[in-house]
Amino acid sequence: MAEMSDSSLDKTTIIQQAIASCCGAIITSLFVTPLDVIKTRLQAQSNPFPKGKCFVYSNGLMDHICVCENGDSKAWYKKPGHFKGTLDAFVKIIQIEGIKSLWSGLPPTLVMALPTTVIYFTCYDQLSEALKSRLGKDDEHIPVLAGSLSRFGSVTVVSPLELIRTRMQYRNLSYKQLYRCVSNKVATDGWFSLWRGWSSTVLRDVPFSAIYWYNYEHFKKMMCKEVGAHEPTFFIAFTSGAASGSIAAVITLPFDVVKTHRQTELWESETLKIPQRDCTSTWAVMRKIVAKNGITGLFAGIVPRLFKVAPACAIMISTYEYGKSFFSHLNEKMNQHP
């Protein structure tokens, strides 16, 4: 019992969990942004983006809609080069434009990734602790419940922010104009209009989180047992994160395809004033994709998604676990020498 109360003293606080997840998000974005910059540039080379068109940019932690302009302000897709492939693009961008160009998509990424990741990871830990005291420490439903609820919460909080950020990016609005724009939207379409595109995000992200956390906790426990470690090492967290992220990415890919389809359609209809097509429900979009491209259409882009999601999940969870373990040892030292 004494051991139990000691370990609860050394537990990380909410602030410490938030700092750990914040650092994880920054490190993940730093690693994954260049991959996306290159992917977008390769895409723009074969199919230049016209003004008002948009594409979904995802850093593995979350997605952003980027609306194309005439080509002056968004460095990461404005200069279509002549690249033979990923490695060639990587080398040429560094040689011709300098290494900084590889991170040209970073500021908008961090603006969105930080709040989402902090809410998501901190809620997951807090919910896990609360559920453990209710359901017992080893209940297998805990990661599924905590993962789903925390993701549901973070998607709901950040959804209007994404909408507002894309508006700002597209029209270069001042805060006053933005406020007017948002309040007009709310006045005409109601508050719920700020959460457009929310349902397809939830349909993809909540199952992803449930599958991810269930497998992550399972792999982590299994590997710790194998090595005889009391808490996960960086390697254990990294490997478990990559494996569980890959499984979740493959299973939820159809929802990812639908979400991308719906979000870009939604934005093009709003920015180019194209009337919204009547096919809006998730299942209707799925049926349309299957009718056009067969079942394989729902699994389009599986390789790039895996290449991005697996390292992003691995880097995020291992830096997060490392941060928590750092704070936990710090608390232990503080408690020993009050």
| Closest of 39, 166, 149 to residue 112, by C-alpha | 166
Note the pLDDT of residue 244. Answer: 96
Note the pLDDT of residue 299. Answer: 76
In the chain, the amino acid numbered 4 is M
More confident residue, 5 or 58: 58
| Closest of 87, 25, 94, 88 to residue 61, by C-alpha | 25
Note the pLDDT of residue 280. Answer: 62
Note the pLDDT of residue 216. Answer: 96
User: According to the per-residue pLDDT averaged within each range, which of 174-183, 305-314, 319-328 is highest?
Assistant: 319-328
Residues 336/21/127/228 CA torsion (nearest 10 deg):
-60
Q: How confident is the model at residue 9 (pLDDT cuts 50, 70, 90)?
A: very low
On whether the CB atoms of residues 217 and 241 are closer than 8 A, the answer is no
Q: How confident is the model at residue 276 (pLDDT cuts 50, 70, 90)?
A: low
pLDDT of 79-98, one tens digit each? Answer: 556 777 778 888 888 888 88
More confident residue, 142 or 200: 142
pLDDT of 216-235, one tens digit each? Answer: 999 999 999 998 888 888 99
Task: For residue 317, give the H/E element and its range.
Answer: helix 302-336
134: buried, middle or exposed (CB in 10 Å: 19+, 13-18, 0-12)?
exposed
pTM (two decimals): 0.80
Q: How much of the chain is helix, strand and coil, in % rounded to 5?
A: 80, 5, 20
On whether the CB atoms of residues 86 and 42 are closer than 8 A, the answer is yes
pLDDT of 189-218, one tens digit each? Answer: 778 777 876 877 888 889 999 999 999 999
On whether the CB atoms of residues 313 and 212 are closer than 8 A, the answer is yes
Give Cα 221 distance to the centre of its chain.
25
Note the pLDDT of residue 66. Answer: 66
Note the pLDDT of residue 275. Answer: 58
Q: How confident is the model at residue 159 (pLDDT cuts 50, 70, 90)?
A: confident
On whether the CB atoms of residues 202 and 155 are closer than 8 A, the answer is yes
Residues 269/273/274/276 CA torsion (nearest 10 deg):
50
Task: For residue 253, give the H/E element and its range.
Answer: helix 253-271
pLDDT of 29-44, one tens digit each? Answer: 888 888 777 777 776 6
pLDDT of 284-316, one tens digit each? Answer: 777 887 888 777 777 777 777 788 889 999 999
Q: How confident is the model at residue 238 (pLDDT cuts 50, 70, 90)?
A: very high
Which residues, in sequence order, are bridge partners of residue 64? 57
Domain layout of the chain by residue ranges: 224-318
The angle subtended at Cα 135 by Cα 129 and Cα 136, nearest 5°, is 75
Note the pLDDT of residue 187. Answer: 82
Note the pLDDT of residue 150. Answer: 95
Residue 20 has pLDDT above 90, yes or no: yes
Residue given tokens 């939207």 in the structure block: 185
Note the pLDDT of residue 75. Answer: 47
